[in-house]
Structure 1
Amino acid sequence: MRTPRPLAAVALSTLALCALTACGPDEAPKDAAAPPASPSASPSPSAPALADLSAAEIAEKSRTAGGKLSSVTMTISVPHHPEGPFSGTFTEDGSGNCTGTYTFEGKGSTEIVRVGGKAWTKPSAAYLAATAPGIPAEAIGKWFVDENKPTGMASFCDLGVQLEKRVGLNTDGAPNSSLRKGDAEQVDGAPAVVLTMTDEDGNPVRYDIAAEGEPRLLATETGSGDMVVRLGDFDKPVQAAAPAADQVFTP
């Protein structure tokens, strides 16, 4: 009997996404110890507005803000994935707790929960039909133990947190020399400063950084819409709980 697995071993993993997002080793921002600015404080002559800073300075401030986050909600869209349009929403914190759902268009969806180092997935009936034909009927609606490996879907439970801390960096953690400051933008009604760069594989990358309050990463896009990520619900508690034993399917 086959057990359900991500499509195209199927699906995107954080390792695959690194080619799109310039992610890499997790490193604390150099100025992580700097005290946070008050979101309501007006800029002073000695503290210029974010938009007045250089691209490198904006990126560094954004990484610092990301390093202080306790949690974030990430929505991701990969419209041209070879297995079909992929989308997902994941609420995650820096302690490994996560809840989320991902979908392959026309092939069903899967819920995921991770508590610390343990993860479980609950595929829809359609997803089971696509990935594990012949699985027993009693498995439908149940949770499956996930391997929680970097190549699995549980890796998405780290991606949003990592993106917040890696604005403007190459995969080796070095600042990207092509980083440039673009025009101002609005992200869900919030003013943002746009940064752009070209990653090591030649893909254009865009970052939308909050221009007011903490300079957090609000959105990022790789390629011409190849991958689009939005981030929000910062510092909200993650309500993740392990499924009850009788709700976990044992092959």
Structure 2
Amino acid sequence: MTDYSRDRLGPDDEDRLPWLEPVEEEYEDGEGGNRRLMLWLGAAVLALALIVGGFLWIRGSDKAASGNGALIEAPDSYYKERPSEEAPATGDDQIVYSASKGNEVESVIDTSGTAETPVNIDRPAAETRAVTPPPAAAKTAPTATKPATPAVAPPKPVAKPAAPKSAPVAEPAAPASGGSTIQIGAFSSEAKAKAAWKTLSGRFSFLAGLTELVVPVQSGEKTLYRLRASGGNAGDICGRLRTAGESCSVVG
């Protein structure tokens, strides 16, 4: 068979004609081109994002590093200054302190805190002094000595003299608990101290039996007059005065 006859196509080779073959290579080339395009677009977007992010980071770091780094010098004046006018002291416990500065203290006596009951202010009779036995009576009675035996007949034994009974010693009165002197306040003049005592003793019957004492004391360049009273149970009296809202302290 010649070459021409081999190259000729028979009826069975119809499907092998070039124009009837599927264009596989062209299809594959088109799909690969689209894929490469998508890759390029993705790379471009990523590069753009990196550029924008780097720009923003550099801009932020420049702002954070702003400033000259100089030290802040402390002012020449004091950081805290004492106020020119002192705040007024408040409170009931500042009465003595205010009076020590020479200020006028006007006390208001509140009698609603305790009931004013009459108290027996009669002083007890004079205490019986302890009777001290004389030195001779305090000694023990002498023991009778045995008489010497005479040659003739022994005399009758001498009876022992009865020891004299000492007078009973009166027990001293029990001292009151606590001290006996109280201090009610301090005033700028003796007249004001006495006027305060007159008011207090008139309000509280349990103060009527006490002895009033006005003691002058020197405080700086001023003289204060402390109002005191003695002659009773200082702790009990101060407790009753504090219940009524008055100031009181035991001083002796």
Q: Which category describes the TM-score, using the shorter chain as reference length? A: under 0.3
Scaled by the length of structure 2, what TM-score is found?
A: 0.19
Q: Which has the higher contact order (CA 8 A, sep 6+)?
A: 1
Q: Flag the structure with larger Rg.
A: 2
Scaled by the length of structure 1, what TM-score is found?
A: 0.19
**Higher percent of residues as strand:** 1
**Higher percent of residues as helix:** 2
